[in-house]
Amino acid sequence: MPTFRRPQQLLATLASLAAQRTTRRFAIVVIENEAEGREGAEAASPAFLSGSLQGLVIVAHERGNCCAYNAGWQIALEQFPNLRAIAVIDDDEIADPDWLDRLANAASDLGADIVGGPQVPVFAEPSHARWASHPVFAPPYRQTGIVPALYSSGNLFVTRPVLDAMERPFLDLKFNFMGGGDSDFLSRASQRGFRLAWCVEAIVREAVPARRVERDWIRARSLRNGVISTLVEKKRRTGKPFANARVVLKSLALLGASPLRGALRLLKTGSASIGMYPVYVAAGRLMAEFGYANEQYRQPEKN
């Protein structure tokens, strides 16, 4: 669990992990990504020192989303050499009591190597609940089963064979402040033949501050999703004939189709923001060709 300037939310997340209804042995690795202030590390350490929580708190001195995950996964493998899987949760999420068991059971029952689950938004303002159906917040799947792709590490279960097979560092630092390192990692794992699955019952509840329903944040996140889509697809097509040209042509096709796709979404939902989402994603895909990168995580106070 990476943490950055959210000590109180971190404690709530840790409490939800301590309350897991499971007979499985697990340890918690907290990765502090604020090397100067270390608010999260200071808040979490007493529970580990007292023995009420099993695991450790580490500091990832290089700031950034990918740096934090890489440090945490690497130290977990070093400190717990017999581990069978890593479950990932963010410091603004609360795990349901059966979260860990449901992820692990889904991996076993479905024969999956990686399992993702829904991050159910919990809005700071109750009136913002209408945003839950927006693609920025809505889960990509509605049923449990094998899926073609996963996109987020905010609720994820990665088995040991995947960790042993993937190159290090696990997450590409190109995505460090943009996000998308998890999407890229999951795409590469799928290319290697690992099976991906979704478990709709393995729920975490994500705190969504009011800032994240402002239109400029939604627009920026939508454009960013388009940029990530292009960058991940380019890596996936590396070494194939006409790789870059095919990515550009796909982006142009999506941009051309986006007004119609947006209009259909508008008619279905009545939401102009939802209607604009495919337009922004398609625009972001093309903007990536010109070096645009919306690094939202460089200014955490605005995220």
* Contacts (Cβ under 8 Å, ≥6 apart) of 45: 57
Helix (H) / strand (E) containing 121: strand 119-123
Q: Are 123 and 213 in contact (CB under 8 A)?
A: yes
Amino acid identity of residue 154, one-letter, is G
Sequence-distant (6+) residues with CB within 8 A of 219 are: 276, 280
Percent of the chain whose pLDDT exceeds 70: 98
Predicted pLDDT of residue 178: 86
Provide the pLDDT for residue 179: 87
Is the predicted pLDDT of residue 302 greater than 70, yes or no?
A: no
> Region 56-76: what's the mean pLDDT?
94
| Topology of the domain covering 2-213 | Spore Coat Polysaccharide Biosynthesis Protein SpsA; Chain A (3.90.550)
Rounded CA separation 190/192 (Å): 5
pTM of the model: 0.93
H-type alpha helices, the chain = 7-18, 39-49, 65-79, 99-110, 160-165, 181-191, 215-236, 243-269, 272-288
What's the rounded mean pLDDT across residues 52-75?
94
Q: Which of 117, 109, 101 is nearest to 150 (CA)?
A: 117
All structural domains of the chain with their residue ranges = 2-213, 215-302
The residue to which tokens 């990168």 are assigned: 293
